[in-house]
Amino acid sequence: MKNKIKFNLVRIIVIFTLFLCYSCSSEEDTIHKNEESIEIPVLTPKTLVTIELPSNTTITFKTETDGIVFEASGDSDNFGELDGLDDLSLLDRFLTLTDESIAVPTDLIKLEEDQKIKEKALQRATIEKHSVNLSVAKSFLNNARKDWLDHCGDPKVNNNFTGNDHYKQTYINYNTIVTTSSLGKSGYNGKCRKVQYSVSNCSYTNSLYVSYYNYPKTGPKKLYSLVNIPKRKHKYYSKTYFTSSKKEVQIAGAQNKRFVGYVIFSKYKNSSVGGLGL
């Protein structure tokens, strides 16, 4: 009788173990299938539009094979004038920056997830890309603010913030080399789809250098870009990728460098590829 009980107990343990293994295998297969089922957009690298502000700040929207870029550069005196765009998607940014008479690049519409913003954009004409530079809408200039430059005289401060789907580092009148990465937010192995930095050079004599690294699926990190920010200039950069990976940004310069700004990593969650909001 005892041997029979032992035998049945062993059978139960074996069956339960096999069940667990099958469950794990099925879950992994499901994850793989979900990853494979995500349709990655096929884009041709090109500049979609360049927009000029009266402050001499220049804004560019462009597509790359692995994502979409929004970038701007100008004088430090005007640093902060684009902060109102931070929470808008790429398409919504374009609509905010341009008059209603301006045609919308089709790639921006194709990658927008918010149906209401799409419908608003489709009330305009569409175009593949603009071949001439555009002037910014007067309605945007009325709401632009430029208060970051005041921080160049503030005490040195570094803060970090972790939100629901982002990790942010801010720097006020900073004078040391800084390196921040998407690993700052726990729980996602540092993998996110978006990187953004906005940096203003407070120095009257030296340049700043911003290095941006992206980690491939295998192997060491790779330098994606090295940007020079001349004295008393600012640079705004944002790129949203179609797939997740670890990312890192380093800000460096001469010994007497000083700068203000922030670095943000976001889109950690496994969201859809469409709607590349920034």
List, for residues 96-119, the tens digit of each pLDDT value: 999 999 999 999 998 887 899 999
Per the structure, how many domains does the chain have? 2
Query: What's the whole-number mean pLDDT along residues 44-50?
Result: 95
Residue 11: band (very low, low, confident or very high) from pLDDT cuts 50, 70, 90: low
Q: Are residues 58 and 138 in the same domain?
A: yes
- Final residue belonging to a domain, choices 114, 146, 178: 146
- Final residue belonging to a domain, choices 91, 126, 146: 146
User: Does residue 101 fall inside a structural domain?
Assistant: yes
* Residue bearing the bigger pLDDT, 25 or 145: 145
pLDDT exceeds 70 at position 1? no
Query: What's the whole-number mean pLDDT along residues 22-47?
Result: 57
User: Does residue 22 fall inside a structural domain?
Assistant: no
What counts of helices (H) and strands (E) characterise the chain? Answer: 5, 15
Residue 213 sits at φ, ψ, to 5 deg, of -115, 140
Catalogue the long-range contacts made by 80-86 (C-beta closer than 8 Å, 24 or more residues apart).
80/145, 80/146, 80/147, 80/148, 80/149, 80/200, 81/53, 81/55, 81/57, 81/144, 81/145, 81/146, 82/57, 82/144, 82/198, 82/236, 83/145, 83/148, 83/198, 84/143, 84/144, 84/145, 85/278, 86/278
In terms of Cβ atoms closer than 10 Å to its own Cβ (0-12, 13-18, 19+), residue 86 is: middle
Bridge-partner residues for 225, per DSSP? 212
- Our measurement of the distance from residue 107's CA atom to the centroid of its chain's CA atoms, rounded to an integer in Å, reads 17
Residue 122: band (very low, low, confident or very high) from pLDDT cuts 50, 70, 90: very high
Q: Are residues 96 and 132 in the same domain?
A: yes
Q: Each residue of 74-103: pLDDT tens digit?
A: 988 887 788 788 888 899 999 999 999 999
Report if pTM > 0.95.
no
User: Does residue 14 fall inside a structural domain?
Assistant: no
Domain that holds residue 66: 40-146
Query: Tokens in use for 212?
Result: 């941006």
Q: Are residues 179 and 202 in the same domain?
A: yes
Q: Are residues 153 and 129 in the same domain?
A: no
- Final residue belonging to a domain, choices 111, 146, 181: 146
Residue percentage of the chain with pLDDT more than 70: 80
Per-residue pLDDT at 38? 53
Q: Are residues 60 and 158 in the same domain?
A: no
- Our measurement of the distance from residue 211's CA atom to the centroid of its chain's CA atoms, rounded to an integer in Å, reads 15
Residue 141: band (very low, low, confident or very high) from pLDDT cuts 50, 70, 90: confident
Q: Each residue of 216-236: pLDDT tens digit?
A: 888 899 999 999 999 999 999
Query: What's the whole-number mean pLDDT along residues 192-208?
Result: 92
User: Does residue 4 fall inside a structural domain?
Assistant: no
For 37-51, 84-98, 108-122, 127-141, which range has the lowest pLDDT when averaged over its residues?
37-51
**Pairing verdict, β 233-245 and 166-174:** unpaired
Q: Are residues 130 and 198 in the same domain?
A: no
* Residue bearing the bigger pLDDT, 254 or 96: 96
Residue percentage of the chain with pLDDT more than 90: 56
State the number of CA atoms in the 13 A half-sphere of 58 facing the CB.
6
Q: Which runs of consecutive H residues, i.e. helices, occur in the chain? A: 2-37, 90-97, 106-110, 115-121, 138-141
User: Does residue 35 fall inside a structural domain?
Assistant: no
User: Does residue 18 fall inside a structural domain?
Assistant: no
